Amino acid sequence: MLAEQVAAGTLPPVDERLPDDPLVEVPLESVGTYGGTWRQALRGGSDNLIERTVGYTRLARWNREWTDVIPDVAESFTVNDDATEFTFQLREGHRWSDGEPFTSADILFWYNDVLMNEALTPEVPSWLQSGGEPVVVEANGDHEVTFRFAEPNALFLSNMATVRGAAILAASPRHYLEQFHADHNDQADAMAQEAGAADWVQHFTTRVEYPHSRWRDADRPSLDAWVLTEPYDGTGQVVAERNPYYHKVDPEGQQLPYIDYVTFDVMESRQAIVLMAINGELDFQNRHIETADARPLIVQNQEQGNYDLWIAQPAWSNAMMINLNQTHKDPVLREIFSDRDFRVGLSHAINRDELNQIIYAGVAPPYQAAPRPGTELYDEEMATQYIEHDPALANEYLDQVVPERDQDGFRLRPDGERLSFAVNVLNSRQFQIDALELVRGYWADVGIEMFVRPLERSLSISLRQANDHDANVWIGGGGYDRLGLLDPKWYFPFEWQSSYAGAWGIWAQNPNDPNAEEPDETVLRALDLYRQVQATPDLEGQLDLMRQILEITEEQFYVIGTNMEPDRVGIVNADLRNVPDAMPNTYFYMTPGPAAAEQFYYVN
């Protein structure tokens, strides 16, 4: 693809485009051949699939197995004994996609001019802080940078490998971004207004903000395997082509990627994407086609679509967790929801076997919100407590909390009003809406009036951020060890998304938030244990501390789980090679990023 440009003198030979010491990517199965277009599909104007595929480039990244963090853009990295200093050695001769050198000066631009600029970054992300202080980044020459923390930050590399790490390189092409930054260009505001932006901050942000905005600027240089030629504007088709300066080669010295182009058709609905899949118009994808209702169509149409299947292993602990807000602003509902017997009673009222058959086609066994089998943190007792469908036992528990009933058989609050509340659910998750309607019936049978309240995503988020909801459902995180360590919000109130105790979760991140409320001693103990996790350099030590947190979680029974999230399927063109048969499926793994799509290739 690039040979003609080299022959014409518009592109240097490959030896001059590669770093002095390129990263050798060992293919999963075999050395490949060049050519082809990887076809995918997006849903609407804010899909993060591009970030997971084209955009999974970091200083350090996950390995395929999700067991370790390995160098990527960095040639190597070292960590001091107490995990307060992380030093990255950059590759000499590494270049941005436009041919300009990539050096430590680019990382310092991100640090000094973006991260530490309050207009662009009002609050430094928590993963880049420790001891209440933001990271300090320093360069030692052109090819070495050190990240220093005031206190141990043992999860820093793991966070780097997730979606969080994308921000660093997105905001690092100094030679391009300086023109939009007011500290480097006194015409930056004028440029912004001419482009229709409110000011230079908004104009700059649209070029670097992840996971969506940065794909709307096809001029921004990158270090990814493919670079944009047609940006993501919410309609039409996004196109990327191979990066001639990409830093990886195969074992035979051939520059990667093997595939020439990547396209993303922007579709209005999930159903349209499923139709594309069964018609053979997608080459490798699981996003938007992995739902339980789509699976039969995907499985049945393999021959028609010329694709095989791969297993997308959910990292979630639960297909649908029910979160009663135990920090509710209504003191009566708060008292009821905070009573463990009330939650246990509601759990016993749910017929999970019926949910499994009706909603999940028999592939999602009853399960609580707990680490998955086969993981280091799996605890069978935690995973199976209170999952028996036993209405009589449910009534015994509920009678301890709200014994009185009205003439229709519904239970009364202590103030004499009917106990009634709504459970919020995303209107895009029909399977959860259907499941909740069944739960509504189970709970009515034991005297609990619950209403299902489908909401648009942004409204649901704003209500939770304001701690202004009765209850909500979500997919349960933390099913894999790595995910539990990085994202513990479903095991104790850790952030606003811990919607079973929203005000406590908000306090854990920002005690000064007007909706924050200091937690009880049990939650404070879990938070202290997690701070120890963050300060413990070795994985085994982290897991031991996490087990102590899970003992608290099991005892408190904060959330009501329903069924284990089942395995999902993805499709892969029958002619595409070097694709794993299975991989974890979560935004924290950045599926399929660690599978190294740059070594995918077509045999025809």
Q: How confident is the model at residue 468 (pLDDT cuts 50, 70, 90)?
A: very high
> What is the signed CA dihedral for 187, 193, 199, 201, rounded to 10 degrees?
-70
pLDDT, tens digit (0-9, with 9 covering 90-100), for 186-236? 999 999 999 999 999 999 998 998 766 889 999 999 999 999 999 998 889
Q: Is the dihedral of CA 11, 15, 16, 20 positive or negative?
A: positive
**What secondary structure letter does DSSP report for 70?**
E
pLDDT computed for residue 213 by the predictor: 81
Distances (CA, A) of 535 to 83, 87, 376, 508, 593: 7, 18, 20, 17, 28
pLDDT computed for residue 265 by the predictor: 97
Q: 145: Cβ–Cβ under 8 A, 6 or more apart, which residues?
A: 87, 88, 90, 104, 107, 108, 137, 138, 139
Backbone angles phi, psi at 71, to 5 degrees: -60, 150
Mean pLDDT of 160-171: 93
Query: In the chain, what are the helix, strand and coil shares in percent, each to the nearest 5?
Result: 35, 20, 45
Mean pLDDT of 559-573: 94
CB 504 within 8 A of CB 517: yes
pLDDT computed for residue 457 by the predictor: 86
For residues 400 and 341, give the distance between their C-alpha atoms in angstroms, rounded to a whole number.
7
Neighbouring CB atoms inside 10 A of 363's CB total: 16
Mean pLDDT of 116-132: 93
For residues 559 and 493, give the distance between their C-alpha atoms in angstroms, rounded to a whole number.
11
pLDDT computed for residue 215 by the predictor: 93
Q: How many residues does the chain have?
A: 604
CB 322 within 8 A of CB 560: yes
pLDDT > 90? residue 429: no
Tokens linked to 231: 């940006």
pLDDT computed for residue 211 by the predictor: 65
pLDDT top residue among 567 and 258? 258
pLDDT computed for residue 483 by the predictor: 74
CB 486 within 8 A of CB 156: no
414 cis-preceded (ω within 30 degrees of 0): no
Neighbouring CB atoms inside 10 A of 358's CB total: 13
Backbone angles phi, psi at 115, to 5 degrees: -60, -45
**What element of type H or E holds 358?**
helix 352-359
Please name each of the domains of the chain with its CATH number.
1-56+224-313+584-604 (no CATH), 57-212 (3.90.76.10), 318-556 (3.10.105.10)
Distances (CA, A) of 399 to 323, 347, 395, 443, 526: 21, 14, 6, 13, 30
pLDDT computed for residue 253 by the predictor: 97
Distances (CA, A) of 32 to 437, 537, 571: 50, 38, 20
Q: What is the mean pLDDT of the chain?
A: 95
Tokens linked to 117: 């600029």
pLDDT, tens digit (0-9, with 9 covering 90-100), for 280-295? 999 999 999 987 778 8
For residues 532 and 269, give the distance between their C-alpha atoms in angstroms, rounded to a whole number.
44
Backbone angles phi, psi at 255, to 5 degrees: -70, 135
Tokens linked to 537: 């350099």
**What element of type H or E holds 242?**
strand 237-242
What residues does 115 pair with on adjacent strands? none
Tokens linked to 238: 């996004």
pLDDT, tens digit (0-9, with 9 covering 90-100), for 310-367? 999 888 889 999 999 999 999 999 999 999 999 999 999 999 999 999 998 898 999 9
For residues 453 and 463, give the distance between their C-alpha atoms in angstroms, rounded to a whole number.
13
For residues 236 and 41, give the distance between their C-alpha atoms in angstroms, rounded to a whole number.
10
pLDDT, tens digit (0-9, with 9 covering 90-100), for 522-540? 999 999 999 999 999 888 9
